[in-house]
Every structure is written in structure tokens, then in C-alpha cells.
């Protein structure tokens, strides 16, 4: 049995991936999202948009990312910030 719930592991994984972006390793960061328990979660999608922007890819924020009822408040706020940045 795991010591931490999947959501805590995912949060730590995303934080580590964020550090990889800051350290100039966006490709490594993208690989880390594949290890999430739910890579298609709002948090995973939000992170992939940030990673794409850091990698210089043409990036569109997924419609509704910041309006998802399942997304946490920090994820929704991050989605709003991404939408504003892309705009």
C-alpha cells in the first residue's frame, strides 16, 4: 500500500516538472506528466499548456480548462492566467 494518496503524488510530480521548466528542461517536464495517475486531469492539461509555452510551441489553452468543475481552485486560476497570457 502506498504511503501517499495518488493526488499528493501527482501534486509533487507536477511541482517537480515545474522546476524542470524553470531549469530549461521542458521536454523532461512533459515526460513527467505521463507518470501522473490521471494525465488527462485538468491539472495535467494545465501543466502541458505551460510546458508547451516554455518549449516555444504554438499553444492554445483548452476551452473550459479554467471552468472545469473538477479542477481545483489553483488549477482554475492558473487556467485563467494561461488564457490571459495567450490572449
Close Cβ partners of 54 (under 8 Å, ≥ 6 residues apart)? 21, 26, 29
pTM, 2 dp: 0.61
**Burial (Cβ within 10 Å: 0-12, 13-18, ≥19) of residue 39:** middle
Q: pLDDT digit string (tens) for 29-87?
A: 888 878 888 877 777 777 777 777 766 665 555 545 556 677 778 877 877 787 777 77
pLDDT in tens, 15-39: 898 888 889 888 888 888 788 888 7
Domains in the chain: boundaries: 6-86
Calculate what percentage of the chain has a pLDDT beyond 70: 78
What was the pLDDT predicted at 1? Answer: 45
CB half-sphere exposure, 5, CA atoms < 13 A: 2
Radius of gyration of the chain (CA): 13
Amino acid at each position: 500500500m502506498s504511503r501517499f494518496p495518488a493526488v499528493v503524488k501527482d501534486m509533487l510530480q507536477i511541482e517537480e516538472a515545474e522546476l524542470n521548466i524553470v531549469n530549461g528542461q521542458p521536454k523532461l517536464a512533459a515526460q513527467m506528466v505521463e507518470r501522473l495517475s490521471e494525465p488527462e486531469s485538468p491539472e495535467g492539461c494545465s501543466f502541458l499548456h505551460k510546458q508547451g509555452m516554455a518549449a516555444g510551441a504554438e499553444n492554445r489553452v483548452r476551452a473550459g480548462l479554467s471552468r472545469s468543475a473538477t479542477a481545483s481552485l489553483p488549477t482554475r486560476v492558473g487556467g485563467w492566467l494561461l488564457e490571459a497570457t495567450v490572449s
